[in-house]
C-alpha cells in the first residue's frame, strides 16, 4: 500500500485578521487532507502587527485542526515581520520528513529563510508569491526589495520546483528576477460559509434603510484596494440622486494610520450618512452581511486572486471589480458582475449600471454563484494540486 503524500505548508500567519491568504491555507489544507494526504502547517502566533495580542494557541506543539496538523511558533524577535527562529529551527530538524513543501509569501523573512532551509535540506518546494511579484507591488519600497530579492528571493525562486500562481494574469505579469523556474497556475478555492447560528439581520444591526441597495466592501483597508477610486465614485452617484448604502468591512493591522485616514475621509464627506464601518468581521456577522448585501465591490489596483470576491460570488452576490483583480476574465465571461478600469470614471459607470438594474443584479448574482461552484471548488483544486505535487516530486528525484 502506497503511503500517503506528506505535505508541509509554511505561512507567516493563519490568523484571520490577515484576510484571504491565511484563510486559503486553512481551506486548502482541509481539502488536501480529505483527498488522502497528510498535511502539516507551520506558522507563527502573529495576530496583527501593531496593537493586537498574539493568538492564544499552544506553542511548538502539534494542534489538530479539522484533518490536518498545525504547529504555531512564537514571533521572536521581530513580531512586526512575523519572524520566528524557533520555526526555522523546527524546520531544519523536520523538513526531510515531508515529500514536498509549499511556501506561502515572498518578501516575508520567515518564508524566505524557510525556503533557504528547504533548499539546503534537499526538500522540493513551491513558492506562492501572493501577488508580491506584481510590478505594482514591487514599486513599493523598491530599493529595499531589490536588495532583498538579490540576496534571498532570487536564489529561492531559482531553487524552487515551481512558482504557484493563482491566475494566468498573475503568471504573465509577475517578475521572475531572471530565473527560469516553471510556473503552475492553480486557483484558490472558497469554503461555503456555515449557516448563521442565530438569525441575524445586518440591516437592523447597522440601521441601514431597507429601500437602499447595500454595497459591500469586505477587504483590508489598504491603498491597493482602490478605496481612493470607490469613495469619489460613490460621491458622484450620490450627487446624481442614486441611493445606496456602503458597508466597509475590514481593518489594517499593519497600517492603522491609513485605516484611520479612510474613516476621516468619509467623516468629512457627504457620504458619512451612507457609509458604515464594521471593522474586521467573521462568523455569523460575516454571513449576515453577505446575505443582506445587493452588490460586492473591490476596485483593486492589483489583486492576484481575490478570495473575498470568490466568497461573495459563492454567496450569490454580483460583483463590481477592476480588471486588475486577476479573475476578472472569468467573471466577465460568465457575466457574474461588472468590470472597470482603475479610474474613477470607469468605476462610476459600472456602479451606476449595477445600481440602476436590480433585475440584472439578481441574474448576475445567480451567475456568480454558479461560477464560484464550477471554478473555485476546493475538492477539485486539491485533486489538481496533488497531481502537481506528485509530478514535481518525481522531477526532483535524481535520474540515474
Backbone angles phi, psi at 282, to 5 degrees: -155, 180
SS3 71: strand
| 115 contacts 159 by C-beta, under 8 angstroms | yes
pLDDT in tens, 310-353: 999 999 999 999 999 989 999 999 999 999 999 999 999 999 99
User: What residues form DSSP beta bridges with 249?
Assistant: 218
Beta-carbon contacts of 81 under 8 Å, excluding residues fewer than 6 positions away, are 49, 108, 109, 110
Check whether 195 has a pLDDT greater than 80: no
- Tell me what the mean pLDDT of segment 379-390 comes to: 95
**Is residue 234 very low, low, confident or very high in pLDDT (cuts 50, 70, 90)?**
very high
Mean pLDDT estimate for the chain: 92
Listing DSSP states for 176-230 in one string gives -TT----EEE-----PPPPPPSS---HHHHTT--TTSPEEEEES---GGG-HHHH
Tell me how far apart the alpha carbons of residues 127 and 192 are, in angstroms, rounded to a whole number. 26
pLDDT of residue 254: 78
pLDDT of residue 34: 96
Beta-carbon contacts of 282 under 8 Å, excluding residues fewer than 6 positions away, are 16
SS3 252: coil
The domains of the chain, with CATH numbers, are: 6-189+378-396 (3.40.50.2000), 202-375 (3.40.50.2000)
SS3 335: coil
- Tell me what the mean pLDDT of segment 105-113 comes to: 93
pLDDT of residue 79: 66
Q: How far is CA 249 from CA 147, 302, 308, in A?
A: 35, 19, 11
Look at 156 and 19; give whichever has higher pLDDT.
156
Tell me how far apart the alpha carbons of residues 338 and 261 are, in angstroms, rounded to a whole number. 28
Q: Which of 129, 127, 281 is nearest to 216 (CA)?
A: 281
Check whether 30 has a pLDDT greater than 70: yes
Look at 197 and 364; give whichever has higher pLDDT.
364
User: What residues form DSSP beta bridges with 85?
Assistant: none
Task: Give the residue carrying C-alpha cell 452581511.
Answer: 289
pLDDT in tens, 280-319: 898 888 999 999 999 999 999 999 888 899 999 999 999 9
pLDDT of residue 310: 93
SS3 356: helix
**Is residue 32 very low, low, confident or very high in pLDDT (cuts 50, 70, 90)?**
very high
Backbone angles phi, psi at 385, to 5 degrees: -65, -40
C-alpha cell at 235: 460621491
What is the DSSP code (8-state) at residue 76?
A: B
- The beta strand positions in the chain, using DSSP E, are 6-10, 38-44, 62-65, 68-73, 100-104, 125-128, 162-165, 183-185, 214-218, 245-249, 275-277, 295-298, 319-322, 337-340
pLDDT of residue 305: 87
- Tell me what the mean pLDDT of segment 71-85 comes to: 84
Amino acid at each position: 500500500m502506497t503511503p500517503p503524500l506528506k505535505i508541509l505548508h509554511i505561512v507567516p500567519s493563519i490568523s484571520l485578521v490577515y484576510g484571504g491568504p491565511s484563510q486559503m491555507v486553512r481551506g486548502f489544507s482541509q481539502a488536501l487532507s480529505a483527498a488522502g494526504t497528510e498535511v502539516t502547517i507551520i506558522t507563527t502566533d502573529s495576530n496583527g502587527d501593531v496593537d493586537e495580542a498574539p493568538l492564544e494557541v499552544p506553542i511548538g506543539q502539534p494542534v489538530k485542526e479539522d484533518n490536518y496538523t498545525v504547529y504555531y511558533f512564537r514571533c521572536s524577535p521581530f513580531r512586526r515581520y512575523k519572524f520566528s527562529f524557533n520555526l526555522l529551527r523546527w524546520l531544519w530538524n523536520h523538513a526531510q520528513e515531508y515529500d514536498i513543501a509549499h511556501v506561502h509569501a515572498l518578501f516575508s523573512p520567515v518564508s524566505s529563510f524557510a525556503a533557504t532551509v528547504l533548499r539546503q535540506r534537499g526538500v522540493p518546494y513551491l513558492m506562492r508569491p501572493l501577488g508580491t511579484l506584481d510590478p505594482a507591488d514591487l514599486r513599493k519600497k523598491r530599493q529595499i526589495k531589490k536588495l532583498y530579492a538579490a540576496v534571498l528571493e532570487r536564489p529561492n525562486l531559482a531553487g524552487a520546483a515551481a512558482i504557484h500562481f493563482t491566475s494566468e494574469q498573475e503568471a504573465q505579469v509577475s517578475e521572475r528576477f531572471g530565473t527560469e523556474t516553471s510556473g503552475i497556475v492553480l486557483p484558490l478555492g472558497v469554503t461555503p460559509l456555515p449557516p448563521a447560528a442565530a438569525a441575524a439581520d445586518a440591516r437592523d444591526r447597522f440601521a441601514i434603510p431597507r429601500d437602499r441597495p447595500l454595497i459591500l466592501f469586505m477587504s483590508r483597508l489598504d491603498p491597493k484596494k482602490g478605496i481612493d477610486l470607490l469613495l469619489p465614485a460613490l460621491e458622484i452617484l450620490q450627487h446624481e440622486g442614486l441611493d445606496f448604502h456602503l458597508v466597509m468591512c475590514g481593518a489594517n493591522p499593519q497600517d492603522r494610520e491609513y485605516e484611520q485616514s479612510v474613516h476621516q475621509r468619509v467623516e468629512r464627506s457627504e457620504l458619512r450618512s451612507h457609509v458604515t464601518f464594521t471593522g474586521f468581521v467573521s462568523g455569523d456577522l460575516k454571513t449576515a452581511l453577505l446575505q443582506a448585501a445587493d452588490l460586492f465591490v473591490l476596485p483593486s489596483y492589483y489583486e492576484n486572486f481575490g478570495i473575498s470576491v470568490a466568497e461573495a460570488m459563492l454567496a450569490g452576490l454580483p460583483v463590481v471589480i477592476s480588471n486588475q483583480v486577476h479573475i476578472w476574465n472569468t467573471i466577465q465571461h460568465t457575466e457574474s458582475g461588472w468590470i472597470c478600469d482603475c479610474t474613477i470614471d470607469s468605476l462610476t459607470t459600472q456602479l451606476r449600471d449595477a445600481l440602476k438594474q436590480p433585475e440584472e443584479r439578481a441574474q448576475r448574482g445567480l451567475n456568480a454563484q454558479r461560477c464560484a461552484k464550477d471554478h473555485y471548488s476546493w475538492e477539485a483544486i486539491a485533486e489538481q494540486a496533488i497531481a502537481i505535487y506528485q509530478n514535481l516530486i518525481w522531477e526532483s528525484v535524481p535520474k540515474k
